[in-house]
Amino acid sequence: MKTKIFSFLAACLVSAGVCADDFSGKITHVESGSVIVIANDLVTRRTVQCDTIKLNQDRFSVALPNRALQVFVMPLPKNNAMPMLMMNARNTYLYFPGDKLQLNGSVGALTPSGTKLYDEMATCAAWKELQAREDSLNAHVMADFRKKQANPNYKSTVEQDVKAYKDFKLQVCKKLVAEKPKSLMTAYAVCQLEPAEAVPLIARLDASVQQGVFKPLLDNIKLAHDMALKRAEAQKALGAGKQAPDFRLRDINGTERTLADFKGKYVVLDFWGTWCGWCIKGIPQMKEYYNKYKDRMEIVGICCNDTDEKWRDGVAKHQLPWTNLYNGFDKDIVTRYAVSGFPTKVLIDPEGKLVQIFIGESEEMYQKLDNLFTN
């Protein structure tokens, strides 16, 4: 019997198209007798289904939305303790419409099967070697972390091992593309690479794979690569003293605003989103500095990757007193300002020239403001 998991996950949206018994199997050594199954849309990574499944003689069966999914499985902790939702390649499984995905074994070592993708993986020596090396690397990372905690002077070698693993993974992917260009496993392996490495290999996949179930992911990788190239090009024009890129965005009242509207004051452009935990965490300190220097400085919040409704709700909820502009999902301004992470804060002088760009939430920007306005 399925029951909804904790309230913080209760907002999961269930697709109307549902297939029966498309995800099942036998999971042993689960102390609580139940597992948590979370299904995320493969492209957007947003949760579309979340259930707690009670095992029946170690067996389970659950219907999934009829769409491409990442399915995460973990044991429900005993006594309804809050679980740690640690999703990684070892407990996340791919499901495509029409699949009959099976998951069997001990809860700490589950084996997927029953689909074309996982059947290909099970018979490929190169894939098995790649997985073995990944397991070895993960074990080394954990051991290295414990050594650091025990000895502050310990010198880590993990970075070298990570680089060696990435180099090996690239070589395996190149081999798979050359030998198995029609394989779903090959497409999946290529999706694990950095975009700059993946894009040349995507072009060498068979057309049936490029246009198949992995197409949305492959398209996203190509888009990410294209955006990275554009950001790198934009970065060349973003040095201190150069003219800041202009924009035209609407404010909370629907009025279009441009950078020129704020000429005569220092401006802090704050690229943020209601979904960004670090953005929200930094709001109290931003309010403090806004009140401290608002006679000489304006903060302009530029909300990205949010719906209009979530933006307006976020502005109201957090009572943001500065100018708030909506960018939504448009990539133009974030590309021209080479935004690679959120929050990104851009300090601009009264003449519209760039002073400095700050990525992430840090004290450096506030120290810069103090230096500007108190010296």
* pLDDT band per the 50, 70, 90 thresholds, residue 11: very low
Please say if the pLDDT value at position 18 is more than 50.
no
The band of 15, judged by pLDDT with boundaries at 50, 70 and 90, is very low
Q: What CATH number corresponds to the domain at position 73?
A: 2.60.40
Instruction: With cut-offs at 50, 70 and 90, classify the pLDDT of residue 345.
Output: very high
- Measured from the Cβ of residue 242, the count of other Cβ atoms closer than 10 Å reads 12
Q: Do 79 and 107 fall into the same domain?
A: yes
Query: Across residues 143-149, what is the average pLDDT?
Result: 85
Q: Which of 67-81, 167-181, 230-244 has the highest mean pLDDT?
A: 167-181
Q: Based on the domain organization, do 133 and 36 belong to the same domain? A: no
Domain end among 112, 145, 160: 112
DSSP H or E segment with residue 21: strand 18-28
pLDDT the model gives residue 331: 84
pLDDT of residue 94: 93
What's the pLDDT at 182? Answer: 96
What six digits make up the tokens of 224?
Answer: 């990410």
Same domain, 189 and 78: no
Could you give the percent of the chain with pLDDT greater than 70? 91
Say if 239 falls within a structural domain.
no
Segment 80-91 mean pLDDT: 56
Q: Of all residues in the chain, what percent carry a pLDDT higher than 90?
A: 62
Distance of alpha carbon 297 from alpha carbon 317, whole angstroms = 23
CB-count burial class (<10 Å; 0-12, 13-18, 19+) for 339? buried
pLDDT for 10: 34
CA Rg value for the chain: 24
Q: Is residue 278 part of a domain?
A: yes
Mark whether 298 and 215 lie in a shared domain: no
Residue scoring higher pLDDT (15 or 196): 196
Same domain, 99 and 38: yes
pTM: 0.68
- Average pLDDT of the chain, as a whole number: 87
Task: CATH number of the domain at 266, please.
Answer: 3.40.30.10
Q: Do residues 338 and 320 lie in contact, with contact meaning Cβ atoms separated by under 8 Å?
A: no
Position 243 in a domain: no
Calculate mean pLDDT across residues 92-116: 92
Statement to judge: residues 349 and 259 lie in one domain: yes
- Residues 117, 112: Cα–Cα separation, whole Å: 10
Contact present, 346 and 357 (Cβ < 8 Å): yes
Same domain, 280 and 317: yes
Q: Single out the residue in 200, 234, 268 at which a domain terminates.
A: 234
Provide mean pLDDT across the span 101-110.
90
pLDDT digit string (tens) for 117-138? 999 999 999 999 998 998 888 8
- pLDDT for 147 equals 86
* Unique residue bearing structure tokens 């448009």: 330
**pLDDT of the residue at 304:** 94
What is the pLDDT, as a whole number, of residue 90? Answer: 65
Structurally, the chain folds into a number of domains equal to 3
- Full residue range of the structural domain in which residue 96 is found: 2-112
**81 class by beta-carbon count within 10 Å (0-12 exposed, 13-18 middle, 19+ buried):** exposed
Residue 317: the pLDDT is 95
pLDDT over 80 at 76, yes or no: yes
Regarding whether 108 and 11 lie in a shared domain, the answer is yes
Q: Which two tokens stand for residue 30?
A: 């689960």
The verdict on 46 and 18 lying in the same domain is yes
Nearest in space to 89 (alpha carbons), one of 110, 68, 105: 110
Residue 13's pLDDT is 32
pLDDT tens, 249-262? 999 999 999 999 99
> Over 80: is that where the pLDDT of 83 sits?
no
Residue 375 has pLDDT above 80, yes or no: no
Same domain, 17 and 80: yes
Establish if 80 belongs to a structural domain. Answer: yes
Residues 226 and 260 in one domain: no
